[in-house]
């Protein structure tokens, strides 16, 4: 048995050396495969990209201007950031916008009242024209009745002159009434309240102020 042990002892280092060679060969093949894979990946993908610590891409840079004025309370995007349509860029203090909205509503209410008053005045001025026409007709009738009396010296010239002056005055008052009515009509243009230019302008200001909230 001692002879067999002596003959088997030299074979153990040979087996260990063979395992080490196979392991080194496998590692070498693995490194080669990894290197080839990296090379292929670089050739197909990475070689098309460049990297630097300080570079900018020439993209679509658009200057953005605010449509409304106000105090900025928060900034949601910085310079050169990528943003999409509809993204919130800044938040404005709503105090000024609310005050502008309330002011616009007050102006609209005032415009409606003023325009409505003009429409009421139009009816009153039209009625005044009819009153002045009646006054003129009466003055003209009185004068016509006194003319024969004056020609017959049944009344004095002064009384006849007063009758003539009354006709002139009544005609002048009628002319003034017509002018006032025409001037009032020029402001309301004969349209409905909601179609009045002043009311529509005030309503537009309210809509703009509401959109700015």
Q: What is the pLDDT of residue 86?
A: 81
CB under 8 Å to 163, separation ≥6 — which residues? 139, 142, 143, 146
Is 195 within the bounds of a domain? yes
Residue 26 within a domain: no
Q: What DSSP string describes 143-176?
A: HHHHHHHHHTTSS-HHHHHHHHHHHHHHHHHHHH
Is residue 23 in some structural domain? no
Q: What is the pLDDT of residue 187?
A: 83
- The span from the CA of 7 to the CA of 16, in Å, is 17
**Total of domains in the chain:** 1
pLDDT at residue 161, rounded to an integer: 92
- In angstroms, the CA 196 to CA 190 distance is 9
So what's the pLDDT on residue 2?
46
Q: Contact 161/146 with Cβ under 8 angstroms?
A: no
Give which of 136, 138, 118, 126 is closest to 193, Cα–Cα: 118
Q: Judge whether 62 lies within some domain.
A: no
Q: What is the block-wise mean pLDDT of the chain (213 residues), using blocks of 10 residues?
A: 48 66 86 89 75 61 74 82 83 85 93 89 93 96 91 86 94 95 85 85 90 79
In terms of Cβ atoms closer than 10 Å to its own Cβ (0-12, 13-18, 19+), residue 63 is: exposed
166-to-81, 122, 138, 163, 171 alpha-carbon distances in Å: 84, 26, 9, 5, 9
Q: Is residue 140 part of a domain?
A: yes
**Rounded alpha-carbon distances, angstroms, from residue 90 to 67, 68, 106, 156:** 12, 12, 29, 89
Residue 2 lies in a domain: no
* pLDDT at position 56: 58
Contact 96, 70 (CB under 8 A): yes
pLDDT score for 181: 93
> Is position 166 within any domain?
yes
CATH, residue 99: 1.20.58
User: How many angstroms separate the CA atoms of 117 and 144, rounded?
Assistant: 40
The neighbour count for residue 188, using CB atoms within 10 Å, is 19
Segments forming the whole domain that contains residue 131: 94-211
Please indicate, yes or no, if residue 65 is contained in any of the structural domains: no
């Amino acid at each position: 048995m001692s002879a067999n042990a002596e003959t088997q002892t030299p074979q153990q280092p040979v087996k260990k050396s063979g395992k080490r060679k196979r392991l080194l060969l496998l590692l070498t093949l693995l490194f080669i495969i990894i290197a080839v894979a990296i090379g292929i990946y670089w050739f197909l993908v990475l070689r098309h990209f460049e990297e630097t610590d300080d570079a900018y891409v020439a993209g679509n840079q658009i200057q953005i201007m605010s449509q409304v004025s106000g105090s900025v309370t928060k900034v949601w995007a910085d310079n050169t950031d990528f943003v999409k349509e509809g993204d919130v860029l800044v938040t404005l203090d709503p105090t000024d916008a609310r005050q502008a909205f309330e002011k616009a509503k007050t102006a609209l209410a005032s415009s409606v009242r003023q325009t409505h008053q003009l429409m009421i005045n139009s009816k009153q001025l039209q009625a005044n024209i009819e009153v002045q026409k009646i006054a003129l007709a009466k003055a003209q009738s009185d004068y016509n009745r006194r003319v024969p009396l004056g020609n017959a010296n049944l009344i004095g010239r002064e009384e006849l002159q007063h009758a003539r002056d009354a006709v002139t005055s009544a005609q002048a008052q009628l002319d003034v009434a017509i002018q006032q009515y025409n001037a009032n009509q020029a402001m309301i243009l004969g349209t409905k309240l909601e179609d009045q230019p002043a009311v529509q302008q005030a309503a537009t200001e309210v809509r703009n102020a509401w959109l700015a909230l």
